[in-house]
Amino acid sequence: MDPGAHREFRKYTGDAISTLSWDANTGTHIPFRASVSHKHHTWAKTHFSNPELFLQPRTEKEIRLIVNLARQCGKRIVVVGSGHSPNDLTCTSSWMVNLDGFSSIALENSRELQLEVEAGIRLYQLANELEKRGWAMPNLGSITAQSIAGAIATNTHGSSLMHGTLSQAVVGLTIMLSSGESLRCSAMENEDLYHAALVSLGGLGIITHIVFQAVPAFNLAWKQEVVKTPRILDNWKTDLWTRSEFIRMWWFPYSGRSIVWSANRTEEPLRERPHSWYGGWLGRFSYELALYFSTWFPWLTPIVERYVFSMQYRWEEGPAGSAVQKSQDALTMDCLFPQLVNEWAIPLEKGPEAIQRLQTWLDGDKGNKSGIPFSPKGIYVHAPIEVRVADTTVQAEKPWLDQSCQTGPTLYLNATLYRPFLKNPPEWERYYNAFEWLMKDLGGRPHWAKNFISTSREEFWGMYPKMKDWVELRDAVDPHGMFANDWLKRNLLGDEDDTELTQIKEQIGKT
């Protein structure tokens, strides 16, 4: 602990640290790795906070010391993984715990292709460890920067109807509760806690270990095609989403076109990705600069987006690149600039209606054909809008707070807005209000990690039949609210004297 932190810390812990940190087995004090004046921000620099202490434990004993001390001092704990959640889930003025230093392999079961890992491990580190063993992750989202615990905590997904979300590969976990007790959970042991903790939003305790189910390593042959968006919508119900194991679509509303990216397992030799225009510094810089100018002259946005589309892909319909890569290289992508993202899960069959209504609205919507009760005047958006899928009905163990559809395949629509040189585009809130209104109209639920802005606690309680169970279990395992952070209170838990919410909870209890 640095001397400044030590002085600060002594002010309110008194002798508690000396007593609690004493390890009689080793005859030494357990290290308390804390620093003051840590400035936290999310990856996209959308949210900032100054935690009172920033703690980076390296052993389970160190994690337990933090929890015991926090309990004794009446402090809240927020765990942060890689801080890639776009909203303020990870912000706190209390204690922030980060497990980057607790990220080793704890146990290997070669027969079952399972690794028990310390929960701070980042996905790219996990992928490397698996690769050394000839294994791989079965499914991935767009990046591998996240910690495994952080990725499952918000239900991170990729894009495949043959897979559920990333939590599908988590067959067991260990969580340290506010009492300092560690519980192992799986489908056979502490089942309720397991299902609640698979998507925990950091609200139950500190996940310290995860048992990860790998698959044999595989390579993917992928290709991408330019297709006019209306043709895609016509093919929606045929084989659009089933013709490959992994498939995703990037919708460019000002180009009238989309990219359909699809990948299948292959034995072919590896072949590198084609050149990416905005992967190079000039393309990237000029795109960001053009977007930056467009924040003052928003009407430039469609021109910029059409130009960038033709530079990055091609204007004519047809093939626009292919490669053969290791699974983790193929599935991940360059997400470009800091961004706001608002992503919702809706039933897959509602996809064409969602895209058509949003396109109509973005095109000016004379006569309000979209039905969206917000004016589209002066709204210009960035591309692509990501269109992805998952099928969690194939997933044996369902997290209680899984935002995907429970009875059929899920479509995820991700409305991205770049923040060129960290500047928000104008009118982004009206766009997001309109987008969320449409998503709710189509029976959607927001991705927990993203920048939703108009969804209330009452709406969340109405969206999740298991919310009451989750909150009750949360209260039982954390009676003093050590992990009830500000985000959870605002979005799910409410305050004690919130009578309206109490009535809703009672209502849900009766149904």
Ligand X SMILES: O=C1O[C@H](CO)C(O)=C1O
Ligand Y SMILES: Cc1cc2nc3c(=O)[nH]c(=O)nc-3n(C[C@H](O)[C@H](O)[C@H](O)COP(=O)(O)OP(=O)(O)OC[C@H]3O[C@@H](n4cnc5c(N)ncnc54)[C@H](O)[C@@H]3O)c2cc1C
Binding site for ligand X (CB under 6 A): 86, 141-142, 335, 339, 341, 343, 386, 414, 416
Residue 416 binds: one of ligand X, ligand Y, none (C-beta under 5 to 8 A by kind): ligand X
Q: How far is the CB of 335 from ligand X (least distance, A)?
A: 4
- The SS3 of residue 107 is strand
Residue 119 binds: one of ligand X, ligand Y, none (C-beta under 5 to 8 A by kind): ligand Y
Binding flag, residue 419, ligand Y (CB under 6 A) = no
Binding flag, residue 207, ligand Y (CB under 6 A) = yes
One-letter identity of residue 234: D
Residue 414 binds: one of ligand Y, ligand X, none (C-beta under 5 to 8 A by kind): ligand X
Q: Which is nearer to ligand Y, 102 or 374 (CB)?
A: 102
Binding flag, residue 320, ligand Y (CB under 6 A) = no
Residue 201 binds: one of ligand X, ligand Y, none (C-beta under 5 to 8 A by kind): ligand Y
Q: Is 286 left (phi over 0), alpha (psi -120 to 50) or beta?
A: alpha
What distance in Å separates the CA atoms of residue 483 and residue 379, rounded to the nearest whole number? 39
What distance in Å separates the CA atoms of residue 195 and residue 197, rounded to the nearest whole number? 6
Q: How far is the CB of 118 from ligand Y (least distance, A)?
A: 9
Q: How far is the CB of 340 from ligand Y (least distance, A)?
A: 10
Considering only 144-152, 251-259, 279-287, 304-312, which stretch makes contact with ligand Y by CB under 6 A? 144-152
Q: Which is nearer to ligand Y, 114 or 342 (CB)?
A: 342
Q: Which is nearer to ligand Y, 78 or 259 (CB)?
A: 78
What proportions of the chain, in percent to the nearest 5, are helix, strand and coil?
A: 35, 25, 40
Binding flag, residue 244, ligand Y (CB under 6 A) = no
> Residue 486 in contact with residue 449, Cβ under 8 Å?
no
Q: What's the distance, Cα to Cα, between the start and end of the chain in Å? A: 51
Binding flag, residue 142, ligand Y (CB under 6 A) = yes
Structure tokens at 421: 């040189």
Q: How far is CA 345 from CA 126, 199, 391, 409, in A?
A: 27, 15, 11, 10
Strand-pairing partners, residue 326, are: 219
What distance in Å separates the CA atoms of residue 464 and residue 88, rounded to the nearest whole number? 21
What distance in Å separates the CA atoms of residue 59 and residue 44, rounded to the nearest whole number? 30
Q: Which is nearer to ligand Y, 155 or 229 (CB)?
A: 155
Q: How far is the CB of 412 from ligand X (least distance, A)?
A: 8
Pairing status of strand 34-35 against strand 40-41: unpaired
Residue 415 binds: one of ligand Y, ligand X, none (C-beta under 5 to 8 A by kind): none
Q: Which is nearer to ligand Y, 157 or 257 (CB)?
A: 157
Q: Which is nearer to ligand Y, 76 or 357 (CB)?
A: 76
**Scanning residues 52 to 81, which ones bind ligand Y (CB under 6 A)?**
78-81
Identify the residue among 53, 127, 143, 260 touching ligand Y (CB under 6 A): 143
Q: Which is nearer to ligand X, 165 or 174 (CB)?
A: 165
Residue 478 binds: one of ligand X, ligand Y, none (C-beta under 5 to 8 A by kind): none
Residue 206 binds: one of ligand X, ligand Y, none (C-beta under 5 to 8 A by kind): ligand Y
> Residue 167 in contact with residue 179, Cβ under 8 Å?
no
Residue that has been written with the tokens 């812990």 in this structure: 13
**Scanning residues 441 to 500, which ones bind ligand Y (CB under 6 A)?**
447, 449
Strand-pairing partners, residue 359, are: none
Q: How far is the CB of 59 from ligand X (least distance, A)?
A: 32
Residue 146 binds: one of ligand Y, ligand X, none (C-beta under 5 to 8 A by kind): ligand Y
Give the residue from 157, 167, 169, 164 showing the smallest Cα distance to 196: 167
Q: How far is the CB of 261 from ligand X (least distance, A)?
A: 12
Identify the residue among 200, 327, 416, 451 touching ligand Y (CB under 6 A): 200
Q: How far is the CB of 484 from ligand Y (least distance, A)?
A: 12
> Residue 195 in contact with residue 227, Cβ under 8 Å?
no
**Scanning residues 89 to 118, which ones bind ligand Y (CB under 6 A)?**
89-90, 99
- The SS3 of residue 450 is coil
Helix (H), strand (E) at residue 53: strand 53-55
What distance in Å separates the CA atoms of residue 274 and residue 259, rounded to the nearest whole number? 15
What distance in Å separates the CA atoms of residue 215 and residue 131, rounded to the nearest whole number? 10
What distance in Å separates the CA atoms of residue 509 and residue 85, rounded to the nearest whole number? 31
Using CB under 6 A, list all residues that contact ligand Y. 43, 78-86, 89-90, 99, 119, 141-143, 146-147, 149-151, 153-154, 156-157, 200-202, 206-207, 335, 447, 449
